Amino acid sequence: MKLMKRILAIVCTFVMIISMATGVNAVENTSTTATSTPERGKITVTNAIAGEDYKIYKILSLESYDKTAGAYSYKKPGGDWDTFINSDEGQQFFTSNENGYVTLKDTSDKEVRKLAIYAIGYAQKHNITATKTATASVSKSDNATAVFEDLDLGYYVVESTSGTACNITTAAPTAEIQDKHDNPSVTKIITQGGNVNSDGTMNSVNLGETVFFKTTIHVKPGAKNYVLHDSMNENLKFVQVAYVRDNENHEYRQTDDFIVKPDRYSPGNPEDGCTFELSFTDSFYKTYRQDIDTGRLTEITVEYLAYVSEKAPINFAMKNTTWLTYGDKKTKTEKSETETYTYGIPVYKYTGIDTALEGAKFILSTNEQPSESNAIKFNPNGTIYRYSTDQTKGNITLTSGNKGYVNINGLQAGIYYLKETEAPKGYNKIQKPIKIEILSNGKIKVDGVEITGDVKVLNNKGSILPSTGGMGTTLIYVVGSILVLASGIVLFSKRKEGTN
């Protein structure tokens, strides 16, 4: 009996041990199930442009990682990005084994940045759908951010709406990157036309002169939807685009590589009301995509011309403004601007202290010995003389009006010589030409001295001189005769007294 009790106790103990072991196993299984939920990632783009859309692409999957040890295990994600990794472009950056694990050949900032550019270019070229899209919003600190949440762990490249690759990073599980705003820009200068200042931002011209402009587009990797806009003052008359070329010496062909509107090839006016716009074709982006994304193609120059209207205002800035729109949202760059002027010389003819003198006649020349053969021709309108846009026609004589003025308009900065060819009747003509210099800012020097106001030209009256047979000699003869007669009378009187 005692033996039976001992056996029963042993059996009960064994059953209890088995029961406890079964309970522990269940707990462990629960814990394993709980921890097997896939970890999710989050990437935040800081310093973003408010309202701009950002796209994110997963180019590698992150299978596992140990941050403490700095160990990350990447694999090919499948689909289009496997094709990229296996391509000649991808092989510049990645090494992969037969099991699909991938490592970077060079982890330097320069090479990683280059990888981001190539990856975005590949996505655009092959129309790869973004993993996620986010719009940047402004936080309380005025720092716009774009947030991508609920991401698979992996290696991601981020693209802005402008088409530029802003960064590349790993979601493990969170990451923060900064948009460096590597965006395009434009600069404009004047290359020819009249008197151009040293930095090309301003010039002065004669009426009717042709002005040559050059706008440089500073191209950035990932370029897309570039449209150059140019708005001219109404007195700058656009003629045509002459050349479009890049820093790699490629000269672009109209209709094949770019389109100008308005133009004989592309009728119609630009939508934004500018003078003309130039856009690039799909063929251009396909042809030059690799040069753009690798940073070889960095500048595109557009050279074009306009002429100055004969109605152009005097001493007034005629502005020419350029800007670029780009990307899906037609983001606008800062504007670049030039100024074109045409100047005038106000001449005031007077006598005495300040009495206006009418009828004085002049010619104007750039030759220090002015003559009818080298005189500048003008179109007169009362006392206003505007530079003739056709120098085979027009008047060379400039005549002062009843208020003494001769307004000479439509000239570029430079040195001129004003010669009086005929003085008003009774006044002395000025013998030496007057040297007049129009400075680049429109101010005037006369014989080397800067003045304000009018170029004042003084004429003096001539005085009458005595001549033979005139009153001058007659008076002398009369007085002399009287004196002789008086002397004779006195002498005769004295003789008579002596006789007596």
User: Looking up tokens 């806009």, which residue turns up?
Assistant: 229
What pTM does this model have? 0.75
- 161: helix, strand or coil: coil
What are the helix and strand counts (H, E) for the chain?
6, 35
Mean pLDDT of 131-136: 91
pLDDT in tens, 283-305: 999 899 889 888 899 999 999 99
Q: 10 Å Cβ neighbour count for 191?
A: 13
Rounded distance, CA 405 to CA 36, Å? 96
Question: What pLDDT, on the 0 to 100 scale, is given for residue 110?
Answer: 83
Structure tokens at 320: 């020419």
Side-chain-facing half-sphere of 415: CA atoms under 13 Å = 10
* Domains 185-341 and 343-458 are alike in CATH topology: yes
Q: What are 464's two structure tokens?
A: 């009458």
Q: Under a CB-based contact definition with an 8 Å cutoff, are residues 250 and 288 in contact?
A: yes
Stronger pLDDT, 288 or 21, i.e. the higher one: 288
Q: Which pLDDT does position 31 carry in this prediction?
A: 31
290 vs 161: CA distance, rounded Å:
19
Residues sharing a CB contact under 8 Å with residue 452, sequence separation 6 or more, in sequence order? none
Tokens of 8: 């029963």
Residues 6+ apart with CB under 8 A from 472: 466
The span from the CA of 4 to the CA of 154, in Å, is 65
> Can you name the CATH fold of 185-341?
Immunoglobulin-like (2.60.40)
Q: Residue 77's closest CA among 49, 96, 93?
A: 96
The domain ranges of the chain are 41-178, 185-341, 343-458
pLDDT at 124 over 90: no
What does the pLDDT average to over 451-463? Answer: 86
Choose the CATH number for 343-458 among 3.40.50.150, 3.30.70.260, 2.60.40.10, 3.40.50.970.
2.60.40.10
